[in-house]
Structure 1
Amino acid sequence: MTNNIGKGFIHYKVTDPNDDPINPQSDTLRYGASVIQGKVWITFKKDMNIKLMKPLLISSFTTIDGREFNVHIVTVSKIWIDHNTLYNCEDGLLDVTRGSANVTISNNWFREQDKVILLGHDDGYVRDINMKVTFVYNHFGPNCNQRMPRIHHRYAHVANNLYLGWMQYVIDGSMGPSLKSESNLFIAPKCGSKEVTWRKIGHTNGDKWQFHSVRDAFENGASFEVTKGSVCQSQIIAKNKFFKLLMLNQ
């Protein structure tokens, strides 16, 4: 997206959180992302929640820059978040919440952050039971702490990602989450926590947990607890340095 920096770009600021897919209004995200032609750099006037009424088609050479404020896009499906660098936000870097489904997050760099990614609004929001999210070819680190991701209720497929150290843990969840971790490289920090997964003792819906590891690689003593139901079946600790690359379609 370096072509979007320099002469000739349009700076567009979103001031209205509403969404009209039939007749996009000026000052809304849809107007800036879909109507304005040319190189567009989109920022936001303030914190806002944007509920997209229809899929958002984004024009070429468009940057959506939410670094200064907390921007949450909710209740959407068939979304692809690709080739972004996200870091240093007051809250989480990326939230997929309130009934969003069929989301692919790929080729992004997440760094310098405490709480990184949240899947699902909270334990009580049952519409998130239909959520399905794929993470592929992302780079986490340096200086990421936790929630890569945190899964409420439903399913995440995490494949071919690089985790370069962490402070607390990598992946956790609640309300019967399901995880397939496949062909990732987990490089634990030299000191501190080595655990990839974290599970709060005594958490509700503990009998519905499904955390699986398939062909993952672990270095510096990184460990992964394979969980089925309320039982942690095994702990994987390995020193594999090479792993099979997967081509995923969603």
Structure 2
Amino acid sequence: MNVIDRCWRPNLEWRKHRSQLATCSVGYAGKMLNNIGNDLIYYKVTDSSDDPINPKPNTLRYGASMIPSKVWITFEKDMDIKLEKPLLISSFTTIDGRGVNVHIANNACLMIFKATNIIIHGIRIHHCKPQAPGMVMGHEGKVIPLGHVDGDAIRLVTASKIWIDHNTLYDCQDGLLDVTRGSTNLTISNNWFKNQDKVMLLGHDDGYVRDQNMKVTVLYNHFGPNCNQRMPRIRHGYAHVANNLYQGWLQYAIGGSMDPSLKSESNLFIAPTSRNKEVTWRRNSSNNGDTWEFHSVRDIFENGASFTTTKGGRVPKPNYNNEQRFKVVDAKFVKSLTRSSGVLPTM
């Protein structure tokens, strides 16, 4: 097991100690200790229906948007949840799908908007569709207007200290994970991303300079099969991409623009049998001569894969503090480290 899973999965009594999970995260999210404590409310979803403006008790939206304190959300049974509008998740919320099969699919999906200290764990999110502007329940029971939403599985807008772990994401109309508008201090770990054109976007747009402060750890994820591009695509900020499995790509695996920094460390890149073997893509800027810090450290390249690194200069370090730090394992172990990526089997 990798270091995150080893923290909680060997405990056969994990159902009785669900909040132990909050002590297991590493990378820029750090430990999620603000999500637990004596004031934590345990909330169980028993009703799979959804009302975006007047959510009923026992539904997912009520737990994620209406409770003005720390809440740990679990599910009574297997559920298919079709959200009528994007689900806005309040700060200090954990959505924990362990032990059951929960699908959020076939319409609106998840949004973290101006919120912090959130865990999303063990959910299948797929076939997400664009949404027209409309009213939706926001944080702490306040109905707010929400503009057009593109159809991402999970979209972060001005969010911080977010841990996204052991989810399975696929087949959405836009992307699987968008990190935008100054979002930072994120760990994206143990997820399975598959069957998707645009996978992961880090950075809002070329003009949004606040994303220069963005820091993201991408760890123990499985990309593929049938992923095209953006694993991730980075603008402005910094990403530490470590111990991930890349099962092919079409256009590219990792790309960027607007001076991003990337440390790609001990990943396994398996190139597609045909088409592009190059891992990286850089968008040239005609007006300011963008520079990139793209560095590959101890990566393994199979089936002809190649990685164009930045020449000269130092490799940018993640500069983790003690609670964020973890040991990056030799890339020859990536297949075993990512063997359990995605939603875990019900136990």
TM-score class, shorter-chain normalisation, is 0.7 to 0.9
Note if 1:224 corresponds to 2:261.
Answer: no
Give 1:143-154 correspondences, 5 Å limit. Answer: 143-154=226-237
Q: Which residue of 2 aligns with 1:174?
A: 257
1:139-190 deviation line (CA, Å, top 9, x unaligned): 0111100010010110001000000111110011111000000000000011
- One of 35, 41, 64 as aligned partner of 1:29: 64
Give the structure with the higher percent strand: 1
1:53-108 deviation line (CA, Å, top 9, x unaligned): 63433356585723333252321111110011111111001111111111000111
Counterpart residue identity of residue 15, structure 1 = P
Partner Cα separation in structure 1 for residue 312 and residue 50 of structure 2? 47
Partner Cα separation in structure 2 for residue 241 and residue 103 of structure 1? 22
Give 1:1-250 correspondences, 5 Å limit. Answer: 9-13=46-50, 15-16=52-53, 27=62, 29-31=64-66, 34=71, 38-39=75-76, 43-46=82-85, 48=86, 50=88, 54-58=91-95, 61=98, 63=102, 65=104, 66=109, 67=126, 68-69=128-129, 70=151, 72-202=155-285, 205-228=288-311, 242=332
Distance 1:147 1:205, change over 3 A: farther
The number of equivalent residue pairs is 223
Distance 1:193 1:14, change over 3 A: farther
Counterpart residue identity of residue 57, structure 1 = T
1:203-228 deviation line (CA, Å, top 9, x unaligned): 55545310000000001110000025
**Unmatched runs of 5 consecutive residues or more in structure 2:** 1-14, 16-44, 55-59, 110-125, 130-150, 314-329, 338-347
Alignment RMSD (CA, Å):
3.5
Partner Cα separation in structure 1 for residue 84 and residue 228 of structure 2? 28
**Unmatched runs of 5 consecutive residues or more in structure 1:** 18-24, 231-239
Q: Is the 8 A contact 1:216 1:243 kept in 2?
A: no
Partner SS for 1:121: coil
Q: Is the 8 A contact 1:84 1:107 kept in 2?
A: yes
Q: TM-score by structure 2 length? A: 0.56
Q: Is the 8 A contact 1:174 1:204 kept in 2?
A: no
Q: Which moved more, 1:100-109 or 1:34-43?
A: 34-43
Counterpart residue identity of residue 220, structure 2 = Y
Q: Is the 8 A contact 1:176 1:205 kept in 2?
A: no
Identity of aligned residues (%): 58
